Amino acid sequence: MGVVVMRGEPVAVGEREGADGEATSARRRLSVWRHHLSSYVMDDTFAGAYRRAMNDAHLELLASDGWREMLRDMILPFAFGGREPADLGDDVLEIGPGPGLTTDLLAERLSQLTALELDPVLAADLARRTSDSPVVAVVEGDATTMPFETGRFSGAICLTMLHHVPEHEKQDQLFAEVHRVLQPAGLFVASDSVASEDLEALHVGDVYNPVDPAGLESRLTAAGFIDVDVTWHEFGWRIHATRP
């Protein structure tokens, strides 16, 4: 296990994912999507002392049909790599679902999914929307101090969210909490964007603390994980890690 860099450069450790032509096509689609973000960028006049996790323009994007399509066709397949959602097991934790488009897509492939959301309005909205689901349970709570017993979950997943955790230390607390609530041999899957000017502009007035993928292996190892596998390209990164 180790780090795979998908930039047309030699692969450091592990296996390159997919054919070069498929990877090029995927990156081209991501580039088009990144340029599309400009229509959601807020003016600096909206910035203030109080910083929500997400501004209104950002929330609009994350609830859009275009974002659902991108999640389904690009982000989830990249996040799982050669794995399947079933590899997370039968009692899965999702961290930071926001408006819940990721929850919708994951619930189609899982038998039990608990979505932990910090924002009380988003948590309440998602709970109402999924109230009839036999799969989804929504919990309002902080991923750095999770309201779950040790060893509760068979697997955990966190998608396009970690850049909303405002401090490096808080991100590490989140990793430690994921380790705590996983069962032995439980799988942790996470994916997010790499830093960019476009994405920083989208986050005017909210939290933007992008994760450097080059440091993820050591950070997950320090949290207690084993078999930490990190892959990234110029648009995003993913990690797969296991609780001993």
Half-sphere exposure for 123 (CA within 13 Å, toward CB): 16
**Would you tell me how many other CB atoms lie within 10 Å of the CB of residue 8?**
11
Q: Strands of 92-95's sheet, edge to edge?
A: 3-5, 226-232, 236-242, 182-193, 153-159, 92-95, 113-117, 136-140
Q: Are 176 and 223 in contact (CB under 8 A)?
A: yes
Strand ranges (DSSP E) for 19-112? 92-95
The whole-angstrom separation of Cα 92 and Cα 156 is 5
Confidence of residue 197 (pLDDT cuts 50, 70, 90): low
With CA atoms as reference, report the closest residue to 152 among 115, 184, 174, 117: 184
What tens digit of pLDDT does each residue of 158-195 get? 998 998 898 999 999 999 999 999 999 999 999 998 86
In 65-170, beta strands by DSSP E: 92-95, 113-117, 136-140, 153-159
Q: Is the pTM of this model over 0.85?
A: no
pLDDT of res. 199:
64
Specify the pLDDT at position 205.
65
Q: Domain spanning 3-242: which CATH class is it, in words?
A: alpha beta
Q: Is the confidence at residue 53, as pLDDT, over 80?
A: no
How far apart (Å, rounded) are the C-alpha atoms in residues 244 and 229?
A: 14
